Amino acid sequence: MRYPESMKVEDKLPGVDGGASTANGTTREVDEIGISRPRRRQPLPIVWARDIAISVLASVVIITFLYQPVRVEGTSMLPRLENHDRLFINKFVYHFEAIQRGDVIVFHYPRDPRLSYIKRVIAIPGDRVEIDRGQVYVNGRPLNEPYVPLQYRDTRSMDPQVVPPGEYFVLGDHRSIASDSRDFGMVARTLIYGKAEFVYWPSRDAGFVR
């Protein structure tokens, strides 16, 4: 059966799933006989409420399972991390990858798990670590530490130690004032719960933690 020319839709552009867009940009639906009709849209308040709910849910999931905001208390990680800096720590990354030398980690203080510390991993399980008048050696080789400026170095020494399985040797970047594995010993893997990723406040310190 043929329909009159007046019933044909000549200005439609290719659509998806039976839809079509008119030349003036209005979205329309096309019925089986070629007559177009406007598509019903949801009221704006409903759309806004839906988008806000999705955003809030996504934020809760990310903060709860992936990232957590924390505040730095103290200056043992100067110059990169300053007192009261706020940063995100990744709580999920170590479920998929191993802790590496150089990672800045957050962990429960071995002598009081109610407290949290942030330090840099210097040696991993099986490494032999020693310190000679401030120079750190890992497996017999001097460690290059560009994150420790000259003014933050010290002259402390430590006899050679082998890091036991499931434990890590950590140091603060501000060596002359930091309390770290030289004082409280190795950190068990079970105490480590995050990796420092990104400083978000204050803006002058914003950036990735390296």
Catalytic residue selected from 36, 55, 76, 157: 76
The amino acid sitting at 40 is: R
The sheet carrying 36-38 orders its strands as: 19-21, 27-30, 36-38
Nearest Cα residue to 128 out of 164, 160, 157, 99: 160
Strand partners, 138: 129, 141
Task: Look up 76 and say whether it is catalytic.
Answer: yes
Task: Look up 195 and say whether it is catalytic.
Answer: no
Question: CA-to-CA distance for 82 and 194, rounded, in angstroms?
Answer: 18
Catalytic residue selected from 119, 181, 195, 203: 119
Distance of CA 95 to the CA centre of its chain: 13
Question: CA-to-CA distance for 92 and 85, rounded, in angstroms?
Answer: 22
- The full DSSP string for 91-127 is SSGGGTS---TT-EEEEEETTEEEEEEEEEEEE-TT-
Nearest Cα residue to 117 out of 62, 194, 176: 194
The residues annotated with a catalytic role in the active site are: 76, 119
